[in-house]
Amino acid sequence: MSLQFLVDGTVAGATIGLGAIGVTLTYSILRFANFAHGEFIAWGAYATLAASAAMGLLVGHATPPLGPFSFTWLTLCAAVIAMGFTGGLALGLDWLLFRRLRDKGESIIAIMASFGASMALRSLLEALFTAQPTYFTRALQIARPLGFGLRATPNQMVLVVLAGLLMIGVHLFMTRTATGRGMRAVSENPTLARVAGIDVTRVIRITWMIGGALACASGVVVGLLVQVRPFMGFDLLLPLFAAAILGGIGSVPGAVVGGFTVGLAEAAAVAFVGAQWRGAVAFAVLIAVLLVKPAGLFGRRA
Amino acid sequence: MSLPAPATALLVAEAVTAGYDPDLPIVRGASLRVAPGEILAVLGPNGAGKSTFIKALAGIVPIGSGHVLLGDHDITHVAPHLRPRMGLAFVPQTENVFGTLSVTDNLKIAGDALADRTVAASRMAEMFDAFPDLAHARALQAGRLSGGQRQMLAVARALIGRPRVLMLDEPSAGLSPKLVSEVFRRLDRIRESGVAIVLVEQNVRAALALADRALVLVEGLNRHEGLARSMADDPVVAELYLGIHRRAAEALV
């Protein structure tokens, strides 16, 4: 039996976990399921491509790849810029759309609107960049042995580590800073939060920024390891929600654990059952967990 | 009945209408004034709008017309999250602590609203001194506290900002008589430090025993106002609006 699915599942889990943090935070703080979240992933990937191309023109000569990796330092700088851009995109979408619906207090309308926003954002990407897949690099990477018969490419290894650091960073932010405390307070009880002196509008803005930035990071990971295409985020949407629900809505560690669980379950399904069962197995795991713990692994209410 | 109005009212509400639906105000022109070091009990039958009134003063129910003044400031339309740092604190009736956060984090949230970090830290230490029960449970999730401890935490949270006016919505709800008297003793001590207290209560007897003045709301309007002691003695008031029997009222004297 090959254990290679552990590597594939961990890589997939890192991308799902990064995206699921945004889903779980929007769900718990803004109280609606944002189906446009996948689009932030795709937009983040394209924004990184565009920014690194623009920076390449500014630099004026080809930059060599960093060490054993297939990307350059320009890609990393572009990713950081794109994270800011995608956070701003999420903020802009809220300003344009969700803010108005929130005032009316109908979360189901916000959910439907997010479907519409998802389609619009995706079509816009197709119009701007065509529906053809594109790549950060076409360089081939040789997978290196990790022991126990496992192999991973240098890109996979460094990106999983970077994703892990980002997740830890967000967790520390949520638990150690005043803003993080405010976000947890608003997610539990927005009215009490206001009475306690928390600026809920500011908390909502920061939630969108974090969700958008992490979605972008997820898109960069997928883009560097697989490819960049307009549907890349939409295709991740179900795993994202599965991970957020599995971990317990509102919990950052839950979204991360949920992400790795879904990623590993999918990879195991591909390895042992057949690729066509990939989605089904992920959802079987989700249902099994919810039967035992209806609030999810780290959920606060049973 | 004329209002024995305090000369130096700190919080003044004048002819306030408020409600979730602007066409159907629940509070229909209610007024109150409370002075430093004074406890005002807001009483009335169920559905009189007591709770909506106090929430409107806290800024979480929209005010249609009327004015709310805190000291010299008109705060009628000031955002609710800015009111604590202006000196107006509010303790809601239910769900008045963040159950998924630790006791410490609950207090830190109130401290975060203060400009100065070191002040926030020293105020929190003061609260742990004043409420030893909370100090022992500081790492516990607030949702695991007992009803009485939770009420203490909600009050401590409100006190971190050193409010000039403290408003409480039914602090006795769900507490045993022994805990009610403990909470009320605390309120008495807070009043002695010069804080003005507005207390919405169903527990009329306990509220009248603690308060200096009382206001009876009926259908969103002031119906009766007076010294708490004389109100407890007034059999008409007691039977009509407060739902306590004459004998119980006499027992208060």
Query: Given the structure tokens 């446009």, which residue do they identify?
Result: A36
Question: B120 lies in a domain?
Answer: no
B70 within domain boundaries: yes
Query: What are B52-69's pLDDT values in tens digits?
Result: 999 999 999 999 999 999
Instruction: Specify if B139 maps to a domain.
Output: no
Q: Which residue of B has its CA nearest to A184?
A: B101
Amino acid at B191: R
Give the closest of A188, A194, A300 to B81, CB-based.
A194
Give yes or no for B157 touching A (CB within 8 A).
yes
Q: Which residue of A has its CA nearest to B85?
A: A197
Residues B243-253 have a mean pLDDT of 52
Give the burial class of A148: count Cβ atoms within 10 A of its Cβ; 0-12 exposed, 13-18 middle, 19 or more buried. Answer: exposed
Q: Is residue B126 part of a domain?
A: no
pLDDT in tens, A183-220: 999 999 999 999 999 999 999 999 999 999 999 999 99
Q: Cβ contacts (< 8 Å) between B101 and chain A: which residues?
A: 181, 184-185, 188
State ipTM: 0.89
Nearest CA-CA distance, residue B151 and chain A, Å: 14
> Residue A106 has what pLDDT?
78
Contact B112 A197 (CB under 8 A): yes
Q: What number of C-beta contacts closer than 8 Å exist between A and B?
A: 68
The pLDDT mean for chain B works out to 89
Query: Residue B237 maps to which CATH number?
Result: 3.40.50.300
Residue A245 half-sphere exposure toward CB, CA atoms < 13 A:
18
Q: Is B195 exposed, middle or buried (0-12, 13-18, 19+ CB in 10 A)?
A: buried
**Exposed e or buried b per residue across B184-194, where buried means at least 16 C-beta atoms within 10 angstroms of its C-beta:** bebbeebbeee
Residue B2 domain flag? no
Separation of alpha carbons A112 and A284, rounded Å: 26
Report the 10 Å Cβ neighbour count for A176.
Answer: 10
Give the residue numbers spanning the domain of B69. 11-96+163-252
Residue B154 is assigned to a structural domain of this protein: no
Q: Which residue has the tokens 């040789």?
A: A142
Of A185, A194, A300, the CB nearest to B60: A194
Give the pair of three-digit tokens for residue B222. 């002031």
In-domain check, residue B112 = no
DSSP string, B234-250: -HHHIIIII---HHHHH
Specify the number of domains making up chain B: 1
In a domain, B102, yes or no: no
Asked if B109's CB is within 8 angstroms of A196's CB, the reply is yes
pLDDT tens track, chain A, 302 positions:
688 999 999 999 999 999 999 999 999 999 889 999 999 999 999 999 999 999 989 887 778 888 888 888 899 999 999 999 999 999 999 999 999 998 787 788 999 999 999 999 999 999 999 989 999 887 888 888 888 888 889 889 999 999 999 999 999 999 999 999 999 999 999 999 999 999 999 999 999 999 999 999 999 999 999 999 999 999 999 999 999 999 999 999 999 999 999 999 999 999 998 889 888 887 888 888 889 988 888 887 53
Q: What pLDDT was estimated at residue A290?
A: 87
Phi, psi of B29 (to 5 degrees): 120, 35
Count the neighbouring beta carbons within 10 Å of the beta carbon of residue B182.
15
Containing B63, the helix (H) or strand (E) segment is: strand B63-70
- The DSSP 8-state label assigned to residue A228 in this structure reads B
- Rounded to 10 deg, the angle between the B103-112 and A178-188 helix axes is 110
Contact flag B60-A195 (C-beta cutoff 8 Å)? yes
Q: How far is the alpha carbon of A192 from chain B, nearest alpha carbon, in Å? A: 7
